[in-house]
């Protein structure tokens, strides 16, 4: 789905990511790699292969969009270093022609030097004259700019007849902040309220629709 924000074209992707065509920039939030192994280490019975879909989804998305740059808006990894790092390193080397930037999130505790060794830039925030990219929504957005962020894992509840309902991931956009859906397969959803000043774009298997 194509939209215009701050006089700039963006594409909301059903793969739960955002694309900025003029920069060939792909924006992804909250992958939470290593979460399955983190819980297994804590004694929770989750198959080690539970997150293989994240790597498959990333590869499919990179091949579809063919970005020149990728911003990960925080919580790329869920916790401390584990064997998922080797899978991630292989992915980055496979797409060495892409410039990767990690906007550090609250879960990103892995030594940033390991990212630098892979050629991944690590920052606390990044921006230009119209947009600022962060992990958590900024408390104060610089005047005139739009803040792209993650962290919330936004979802929206659709209700039907007979008290039927379903919660779907969504993009949640207000005048100053656009919150991206969580990309990872092992992430939950936080229900967002619809107001007159917000736009909600729900994510369906093959499309994105404004409600």
Q: What is the pLDDT of residues 124-134, one digit of tens each?
A: 999 999 999 99
pLDDT at 48: 60
* pTM for the whole structure: 0.90
Percent of the chain with pLDDT over 70: 89
> Which residue would you say has higher pLDDT here, 75 or 46?
75
Kindly list the structural domains of the chain, giving each domain's residue range(s) and its CATH number in brackets, ordered by start.
2-210 (3.60.21)
pLDDT at 89 over 90: yes
Mean pLDDT computed over 64-78: 94
Mean pLDDT computed over 12-34: 96
Mean pLDDT computed over 142-154: 95
pLDDT at 146 over 80: yes
* Contact in structure between 179 and 170 (CB atoms under 8 Å): no
Percent of the chain with pLDDT over 90: 73
- The pLDDT-based confidence of 35 (bands split at 50, 70, 90) is low
pLDDT at 39: 47
What's the chain's average pLDDT?
A: 90
pLDDT at 163 over 90: no
| Candidate from 79-83, 90-94, 200-204 with smallest mean pLDDT | 79-83
């Amino acid at each position: 789905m194509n939209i215009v924000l701050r006089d700039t074209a963006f594409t909301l992707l059903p793969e739960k990511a955002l694309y900025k065509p003029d920069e060939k920039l792909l924006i992804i939030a909250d992958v939470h790699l290593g979460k399955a192994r983190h819980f297994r280490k804590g004694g929770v019975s989750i198959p080690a292969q539970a997150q293989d879909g994240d790597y498959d989804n990333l590869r499919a998305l990179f091949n579809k969009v063919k970005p020149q740059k990728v911003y990960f808006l925080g919580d790329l990894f869920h916790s401390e270093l584990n064997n998922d790092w080797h899978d991630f390193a292989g992915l980055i080397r496979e797409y060495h022609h892409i410039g990767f930037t990690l906007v550090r999130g609250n879960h990103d505790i892995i030594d940033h030097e390991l990212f630098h060794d892979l050629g991944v830039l690590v920052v606390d925030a990044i921006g230009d004259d119209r947009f600022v990219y962060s992990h958590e929504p900024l408390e104060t957005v610089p005047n005139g700019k739009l803040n792209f962020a993650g962290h919330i894992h936004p979802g929206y509840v659709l209700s039907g007849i007979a008290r039927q309902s379903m919660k779907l991931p969504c993009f949640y956009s207000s005048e100053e902040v656009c919150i991206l859906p969580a990309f990872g397969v092992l992430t939950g959803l936080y229900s967002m309220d619809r107001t007159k000043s917000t736009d909600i774009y729900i994510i369906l298997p093959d499309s994105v629709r404004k409600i």
